[in-house]
């Protein structure tokens, strides 16, 4: 299983065009800010640019610096709730599902502190999580504390993301109240409804297809799969609802352009949101956290997201 997961985490899972767009955007932003600073330090003579161009560079640099400050110090902590309503003939009574993805716990911060109360206020019947619970640096005690708090609100089921390859948090938090679905299914009763929850390990495409064949008409089938790779083809599978993450919604979303990167074979068009086809639905969440590796939390135009799904007959 780990070999298969590792294959999915290589560079081949990324789109070259997306990587180039991020590199170009970053280079232009830093060059503009650098040029403005050079002018302020009276080094503009070295750059030999016409005066009118500096009148454009300075405001652009100020805007860029302001956006960077907002993206680091404000937006990563602005947790939003996205409300989604779906209907199905398989349901006999309403169900409220809370979907969490890409929590990327670094330690116990105001993000983790806010999650429990926000989820509790939604009063979910069930909580579903779709991978990437840690980043580097990582605090396993903080992850377990968060899991215990979340699972005390409602029954909680979780699948694995690609981060669990190197940091198998599921092996050290087995007693936290979370039910781990590792290429397997669980059948639960929620009100008058029979719910089948399929948890597929990130990158295990064979199990994704195989478990789809096990869906029966008597239950509402929800698939937890970290990658949104199959969302463009959701009509081909028997799952009634697919919940995914991984893309962070792009993490940086520009006006009119949307996400610069999806980190997925599905592309930026499937980086975030609700998708439907043939009476089935998929939701790709923006996630809660962001990648670490010593970098600050950063989001822009893409706040952290708790997804509240109201399923009705």
Q: What is the pLDDT along the chain (313 residues), one digit of tens a residue?
A: 444 444 444 444 566 667 677 777 777 777 777 766 766 666 555 456 666 666 677 777 777 788 888 888 999 999 999 999 999 999 999 999 999 999 999 999 999 999 999 999 999 999 999 999 998 888 889 999 999 999 999 999 999 999 998 889 988 877 689 999 999 999 999 989 999 999 999 999 999 999 999 999 889 999 999 999 999 999 999 999 999 999 999 898 988 888 888 888 888 899 999 999 999 999 999 999 988 777 888 999 999 999 999 999 9
* Rounded Cα gap, residues 303 and 78, in angstroms: 6
Q: Does domain 79-312 have CATH number 3.60.21.10?
A: yes
* Rounded Cα gap, residues 158 and 198, in angstroms: 9
* Rounded Cα gap, residues 243 and 157, in angstroms: 12
Secondary-structure breakdown of the chain: helix, strand, coil percentages, each rounded to the nearest 5: 35, 25, 40
From residue 8, alpha-carbon distances to 201, 209, 222, 264, 299 in Å are 11, 16, 23, 10, 25
Q: At what angle do helices 110-122 and 140-151 cross, to 10 degrees?
A: 10
Give the per-residue pLDDT at 8: 43
Q: How many helices (H) and strands (E) does the chain have?
A: 8, 14
Give the per-residue pLDDT at 35: 67
Give the per-residue pLDDT at 172: 81
Who's near 99: CB < 8 A, 6+ residues apart? 127, 128, 129, 130, 243, 283, 285, 306, 307, 308, 309
Who's near 263: CB < 8 A, 6+ residues apart? 13, 14, 18, 246, 247, 248
pTM of the model: 0.88
* Rounded Cα gap, residues 97 and 87, in angstroms: 13
Q: What angle do CA 181, 244, 184 make, to 5 degrees?
A: 20
Do the Cβ atoms of 281 and 244 come closer than 8 Å?
no
Task: List beta partners, residue 312.
Answer: 87
**Which part of the chain has CATH 3.60.21.10?**
79-312
Do the Cβ atoms of 157 and 129 come closer than 8 Å?
yes
Q: Which among 210, 266, 230, 238 is positioned nearest to 18, based on CA atoms?
A: 266
Cα atoms in the 13 Å half-sphere on the side-chain side of 26: 9
């Amino acid at each position: 299983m780990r070999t298969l997961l590792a294959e999915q985490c290589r560079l081949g899972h990324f789109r070259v065009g997306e990587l180039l767009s991020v590199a170009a955007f970053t280079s232009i932003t830093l060059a503009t800010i650098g040029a403005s600073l050079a002018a302020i330090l009276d080094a503009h003579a070295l750059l030999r640019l016409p005066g009118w161009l500096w009148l454009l560079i300075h405001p652009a640099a100020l805007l860029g610096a302001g956006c960077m400050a907002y993206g680091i110090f404000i937006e990563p902590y602005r947790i939003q709730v996205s409300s989604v309503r779906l209907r199905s003939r398989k349901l006999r009574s309403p169900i409220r599902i809370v979907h969490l993805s890409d929590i990327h716990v670094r330690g116990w911060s105001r993000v983790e502190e806010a999650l429990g109360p926000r989820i509790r206020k939604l009063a979910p019947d069930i909580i579903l999580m779709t991978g990437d619970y840690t980043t580097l640096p990582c605090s396993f005690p903080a992850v377990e504390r968060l899991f215990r708090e979340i699972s005390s609100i409602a029954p909680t089921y979780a699948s694995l993301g690609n981060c669990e390859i190197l940091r198998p948090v599921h092996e050290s938090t087995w007693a936290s109240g979370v039910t781990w679905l590792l290429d397997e299914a669980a059948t639960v009763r929620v009100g008058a409804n029979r719910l089948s929850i399929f948890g597929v390990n990130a990158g295990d495409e064979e199990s994704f297809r195989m478990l789809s064949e096990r869906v029966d008409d008597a239950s509402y089938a929800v698939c937890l799969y970290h990658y949104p790779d199959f969302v463009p083809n959701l009509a081909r599978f028997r799952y009634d609802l697919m919940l995914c993450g991984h893309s962070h919604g792009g993490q940086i979303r520009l006006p009119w352009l949307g996400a610069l990167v999806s980190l997925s074979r599905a592309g930026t068009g499937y980086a975030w949101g609700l998708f439907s086809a043939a009476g089935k639905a998929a939701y790709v969440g923006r996630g809660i956290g962001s990648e670490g590796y010593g970098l600050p939390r950063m989001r822009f135009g893409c706040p952290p997201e708790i997804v509240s799904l109201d399923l009705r007959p």
